[in-house]
């Protein structure tokens, strides 16, 4: 069976023992193994700090950007092969595989272009200089400089390519070496990308490492200058944040975790209108794209009571186009769950939701998922969302969502969304400006991103599920409290903001301000 290696200290290394097994979720076949047992992770981090850090910091933003552009092209040149690998290991249809692979190359390219814009500097000026004393001679200027440690990137199973790229793009451009650790179960696409990155010869020595398999004792070797950027469950985020070493060294941790994202439909929206059709189209995509296994997928939908039945009818029709099937069949538009072991978890989650909500579309599967982790879309209706706290707490990571009534008042809609205690994204569908204004300011404190869906953008909207490199990704509270991407904002995690005080001429000369 294929043995997946790690790339540490600029060489491919194998762990000992059997390690973990990777499967094809469409048929349950074992396809590869990955082990990190016995690897010296402390030495790997020291090497990256000593070799990779100085090499990257010496480069200007434009030069770091060139590396990212080069990586984007190198990965893109293996697109067909990567799409196949993605389908094999994550069960995604061709379209869903493209979403991950093209998302990765697009994000690297976007940050490559940002590097070119930032030009020949090696650090950032943060705002304008300030007079900080009675005389203009006594001057202050904020700067941002790259941290001297390693950016440790721990990714979730659902985006083995994009997850690698969105984190790497920001840390590399900031000037920090990185170590990528994909989720083991779906690490085959990440491993092939790692080979492409290494073979490209684009990364300076020590600037990129790859750990394939369990995280082992990696985090016990972190220092105050390292950063941990994590994507995954809230439970693992908590474990990472509370590790003694992380606490003692005040290691920066950015967490992107679970999220019960929501949609709120305005009372002005009429079934059959452009805005309604946009809502149904985007909700259908959120339920079925990657079989609902996106952190940004919509789980809760709040509608005025009279719109619930029309929404169920419209969804019944649109979801009929997405029966779950094997991703190798070209006509299939929704594949299985990414790994076979998620099947019982999703079925159990659906059962729990059925305890507080009625099933309006679909049913709870009764198989064991052993011959393919296929789950059909399920839509619930929960009539009393103010009492049913479970619908705001339980993230079922599969093709499902719950429709719920609210009064049509934007304040109440916002209050319902906030019950999930922080989300990555919320969407409103309405053409009423005052409704949108009130709802936006109810949603914004609880959500990292708000999409205002209306007829004016019906033809242009990319939907709530797509994360764009120009806009921030992350959300407060339950969603992890993290912030990634957002153009230049994404670099801040990897840089120290330092206030410099002194004589104005000296500061301006040193900083070339
Ligand atoms: P997970 O079980 O928390 O695993 C995530 C990553 O953490 C994996 O790489 C895993 O490695 C690693 N890990 C596990 N235990 C660890 C520990 N003690 N210390 C350090 N790392 C550890 O989550 P998942 O099942 O892969 O992902 C599903 C969840 O991620 C969902 O809840 C989803 O909402 C969330 N998610 C969020 C976002 C976002 O951007 N906010 C994006 C995607 C997914 P192994 O695989 O080797 O165990």
Residue 366 has pLDDT above 90, yes or no: no
Residues 6+ apart with CB under 8 A from 272: none
Ligand 1 in reach of 86 Cβ (< 6 A): no
Ligand 1 center to 500 CA (angstroms):
38
The ligand 1 atom nearest the CA atom of 214: 47
Listing DSSP states for 102-139 in one string gives: HHHHHHHHHHHHHHHHHTT-SSEEEEEEEE-SSSTTEE
The total number of residues written for the chain in this structure: 513
* Angle, CA 261 vertex, CA 164 and CA 452 arms, to 5°: 100
> How much is the pLDDT for 307?
98
* Strand ranges (E), 241-351: 252-256, 261-265, 298-303
Q: How many CB atoms lie within 10 A of CB 244?
A: 9
* CATH class belonging to 59-257+482-511: alpha beta
pLDDT in tens, 299-341: 999 999 999 999 999 999 999 999 888 888 888 899 889 888 8
Nearest Cα residue to 387 out of 412, 346, 416, 428 = 416
Angle between helices 94-118 and 187-200 (to 10 degrees): 40
> How much is the pLDDT for 367?
77
Residue 106 has pLDDT above 90, yes or no: yes
Ligand 1 in reach of 484 Cβ (< 6 A): no
- pLDDT bucket at 269, cuts 50 / 70 / 90: very high
What are the residue ranges spanned by the domains of the chain? 59-257+482-511, 261-469
DSSP tag of 468 = P
Share of the chain above pLDDT 70, in %: 100
> How much is the pLDDT for 202?
98
For the chain, give me the number of helices (H) and strands (E)? Answer: 16, 22
> How much is the pLDDT for 330?
84
pLDDT in tens, 59-97: 999 999 999 999 999 999 999 999 999 999 998 999 999
Average pLDDT on 340-354 reads: 94
The ligand 1 atom nearest the CA atom of 259: 34
Q: Are 289 and 451 in contact (CB under 8 A)?
A: no
Ligand 1 in reach of 253 Cβ (< 6 A): no
Average pLDDT on 110-139 reads: 96
* Strand ranges (E), 454-494: 472-473, 484-485
Residue 39 has pLDDT above 80, yes or no: yes
Q: Are 494 and 227 in contact (CB under 8 A)?
A: yes
Q: Is the pTM of this model over 0.75?
A: yes
Q: Are 335 and 288 in contact (CB under 8 A)?
A: no
Listing DSSP states for 147-185 in one string gives: -SS-EEEE--TT-TTHHHHHHHHHHHHHT--EEEE--GG
Q: Are 184 and 20 in contact (CB under 8 A)?
A: yes
Domain range 261-469, CATH architecture? 3-Layer(aba) Sandwich (3.40)
Ligand 1 in reach of 256 Cβ (< 6 A): yes
Share of the chain above pLDDT 90, in %: 92
- pLDDT bucket at 468, cuts 50 / 70 / 90: very high
Residue spans of alpha helices (H) in 175-288: 187-200, 234-241, 244-248, 274-288
- Tell me what the pLDDT averaged over the chain comes to: 96
> How much is the pLDDT for 111?
98
Task: Supply the residue whose CA is at minimum distance from atom 39 of ligand 1.
Answer: 256
Residue 369 has pLDDT above 90, yes or no: no
Q: How many CB atoms lie within 10 A of CB 317?
A: 10
Phi and psi angles of residue 237, each rounded to the nearest 5 degrees, phi first: -60, -40
Residues with active-site annotation: 256, 295
Task: Supply the residue whose CA is at minimum distance from atom 16 of ligand 1.
Answer: 236
- pLDDT bucket at 276, cuts 50 / 70 / 90: very high
């Amino acid at each position: 069976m294929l043995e997946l290696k790690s790339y540490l200290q600029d060489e491919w290394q194998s762990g000992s023992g059997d390690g973990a097994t990777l499967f094809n979720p469409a048929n349950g076949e074992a396809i590869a193994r990955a082990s990190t047992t016995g690897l010296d992770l402390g030495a790997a981090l020291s090497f990256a700090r000593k070799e990779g850090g100085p090499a990257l910091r010496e480069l200007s933003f434009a030069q770091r950007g060139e590396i990212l552009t080069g990586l984007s092209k190198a990965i893109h040149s293996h697109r067909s092969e990567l799409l196949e690998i993605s389908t094999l290991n994550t069960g995604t249809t061709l379209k869903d595989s493209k979403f991950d692979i093209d998302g990765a190359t697009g994000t690297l390219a976007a940050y490559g272009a940002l590097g070119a814009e930032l030009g020949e500097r090696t650090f950032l000026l943060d705002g304008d200089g300030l007079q900080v004393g009675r005389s203009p001679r006594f001057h202050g200027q904020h700067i941002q400089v790259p941290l001297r440690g390693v950016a440790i990137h721990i990714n979730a199973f659902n985006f083995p390519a994009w997850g690698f790229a969105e984190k790497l793009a920001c840390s590399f451009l900031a000037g920090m070496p990185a170590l990528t650790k994909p989720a083991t179960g779906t690490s085959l696409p990440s491993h092939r990308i790692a080979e492409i990155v290494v073979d490209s010869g684009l990364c300076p020595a020590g600037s990129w490492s790859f750990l394939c398999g369990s995280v082992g004792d990696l985090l016990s070797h972190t220092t105050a200058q390292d950063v941990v950027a994590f994507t995954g469950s809230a439970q693992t985020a908590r474990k990472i944040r509370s590790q003694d070493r992380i606490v003692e060294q005040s290691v920066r941790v950015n967490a992107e975790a679970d999220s019960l994202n929501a949609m709120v439909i305005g009372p002005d929206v009429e079934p059959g209108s452009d805005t309604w059709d946009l809502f149904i189209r985007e909700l259908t995509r959120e339920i079925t794209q990657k079989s609902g296994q996106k952190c940004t997928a919509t789980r809760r939908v709040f509608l005025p009571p009279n719109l619930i039945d029309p929404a169920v009818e419209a969804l019944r029709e649109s979801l009929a186009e997405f029966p779950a099937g094997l991703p190798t069949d070209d006509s299939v538009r929704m594949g299985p769950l990414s790994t076979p072991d998620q099947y019982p978890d999703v079925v159990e989650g659906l059962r729990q939701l059925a305890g507080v909500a009625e099933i309006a579309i679909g049913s709870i599967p009764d198989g064991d998922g052993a011959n393919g982790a296929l789950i059909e879309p399920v839509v619930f209706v929960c009539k009393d969302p103010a009492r049913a706290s479970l619908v705001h707490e339980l993230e079922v990571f599969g093709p499902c969502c719950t429709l719920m009534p609210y009064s049509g008042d934007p304040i109440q809609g916002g209050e319902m969304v906030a019950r999930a205690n922080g989300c990555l994204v919320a969407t409103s569908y309405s053409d009423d400006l005052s409704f949108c204004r009130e709802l936006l300011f109810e949603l914004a404190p609880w959500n990292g991103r708000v999409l205002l869906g209306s007829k004016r953008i019906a033809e242009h909207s990319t939907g709530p599920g797509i994360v764009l490199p120009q806009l921030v990704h992350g959300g407060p509270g339950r969603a992890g409290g993290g912030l990634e991407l957002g153009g230049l904002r994404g670099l801040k995690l990897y840089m120290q903001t330092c206030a410099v005080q002194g004589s104005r001429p000296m500061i301006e000369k040193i900083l070339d301000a």
